[in-house]
Amino acid sequence: MNTFFQGKRLRRTAELRSLIRETPAITASDLIMPYFVVETDTPTFRKEIPSMPGQYQLSLNMLREQVAKAVDNGLRAIILFGIPATKDPQGSGAYAENGIVQQAVRMLRTHFPKLFIITDVCLCEYTSHGHCGLLSPQGDVLNDPTLQLLTRTATSHAEAGADMVAPSDMMDGRIQALRAGLDAANFTMLPIMSYAVKYASAYYGPFREAAESAPQSGDRKSYQMDPANAREGLREAAADIAEGADCLIVKPAGPYLDIIRRVYETYDIPLCAYQVSGEYSLIKAAGANGWIHEEAVVLESLTGIKRAGAKMIISYFTEELLQKRQITL
């Protein structure tokens, strides 16, 4: 028997495996819970998303109830997505002073002062055409005019009390525009977490049902990244850092662990990964059919994301893990 390396010696007991574990266990401070808040006249509105079992569209009142339970279980950070009552080509609900996300931020800030509130900054949930920016008559996404509306959106979120804004639109120059706008509005200390490396992924399908944000024509491949490209992701990250991003997001997470690792090793900046809706739904479906041990797979998938280099993970499993006490606080 080879006596120079006996790996099994260090795997013999749970206590020993824990002592030499390279990647720390997933904790509450690693995770960010996404919520979908709906502008509605029905205070008790709570609608399960068919393709995302256990996830809901929530009215303001129901959001407060659900977040209260999660905070009691140890929830520390959330990211908000809004669904307005009406949509228009300009996505005006995104930057309205009394828009649904702005209302939600003010409400949550009042009831949960220690909760860290991140807001998604994009127009896709608010535009009638479902794209992340304004469209030309020919159907092309207009980059620079969109930046003005994104800046108004981010500033309105800051005024409502958000702790961090997270632009997900993938317009060129958006970080510079948002930083300038926030600074001009005296929000110089408000950080920007950029969806810097966001792929045009088929894994977003359930989210588009949840946020009611599917494009009415065409797709988003002209502004989101080609899944085949890795080095382009590094260029996107470099550009956003140069423009003033404080943190970066890689999205999706599981199919892009190599990208997470490359960004982590290349740039000394806090890194977040988004375990997106399709990743959640696949695990949930397999678990419901008894094909996998769902709880074990959830923790293994999150550990893989953390091992790749993500310090923060946006995951729809956050509430469930906290409720079942499967992670430490």
User: Which member of 87, 198, 284, 306 is catalytic?
Assistant: 198
Q: Which amino acid is at 323?
A: Q
Structure tokens at 295: 């709880």
Compute the distance between CA of residue 272 and CA of residue 305 in angstroms, rounded to an integer: 9
| DSSP per-residue string spanning 99-154 | -HHHHHHHHHHHH-TTSEEEEEE-STTTBTT--SS-B-TTS-B-HHHHHHHHHHHH
Structure tokens at 205: 């399908």
User: Which member of 87, 251, 284, 306 is catalytic?
Assistant: 251
The yes-or-no answer on residue 198 being catalytic is yes
| DSSP per-residue string spanning 30-88 | GEEEEEEEE--S-TT-EEE-TTSTT-EEE-HHHHHHHHHHHHHTT--EEEEEEE-SS-B
Q: Which amino acid is at 294?
A: E
Catalytic site residues? 198, 251
